[in-house]
């Protein structure tokens, strides 16, 4: 297995998390800010935890949690945009990246599931 630092989906999810933090740095909507930053941080954290586990089955479990966090983040971004907490154009870019990361995680899950069949 490659080093975690070489995994594109992990690097992109780290950047997304940083972008969420920067975007909401000045927000006074503290409950929203706390929830959405936790969701964003959960994505690369669960990818990392799964990737460092000893079995492919356990890795898949953590990747599925990361994928769920992507869905949570995407939902919160949509709500934040509708509520006016995040500028629409910025939010649409963040939503697009969250969806792409989710697709990448799904590809990684399928890869590990196929390995289990071998």
Domain 4-117 has CATH 1.20.1440.60: yes
Task: Transcribe 23-39 into DSSP letters.
Answer: HTTT---HHHHHHHHHH
**Contacts (Cβ under 8 Å, ≥6 apart) of 85:** 24, 27, 29, 32
Query: Residue 53 burial by CB count (10 A; 0-12/13-18/19+): exposed, middle or buried?
Result: middle
Report pLDDT digits (tens) over 18-52.
Answer: 999 999 999 999 999 999 999 999 999 999 999 88
Domain boundaries, the chain: 4-117
Percent of the chain with pLDDT over 70: 98
For 39-50, letters b (16+ CB in 10 Å) and e give: bbbbbbbbbbbb
């Amino acid at each position: 297995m490659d080093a975690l630092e070489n995994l594109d989906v992990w690097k992109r999810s780290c950047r997304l998390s940083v972008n969420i933090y920067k975007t909401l740095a000045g927000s006074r909507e503290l409950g929203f800010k706390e929830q959405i930053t936790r969701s964003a941080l959960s994505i690369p954290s669960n990818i990392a935890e799964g990737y460092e586990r000893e079995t492919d089955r356990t890795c898949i479990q953590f990747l599925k949690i990361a994928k769920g966090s992507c869905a949570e983040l995407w939902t919160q971004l949509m709500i934040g945009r509708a509520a006016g907490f995040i500028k629409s154009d910025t939010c649409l870019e963040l939503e697009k990246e969250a969806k792409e990361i989710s697709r990448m995680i799904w590809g990684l899950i399928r890869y590990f599931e196929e390995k289990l069949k071998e």
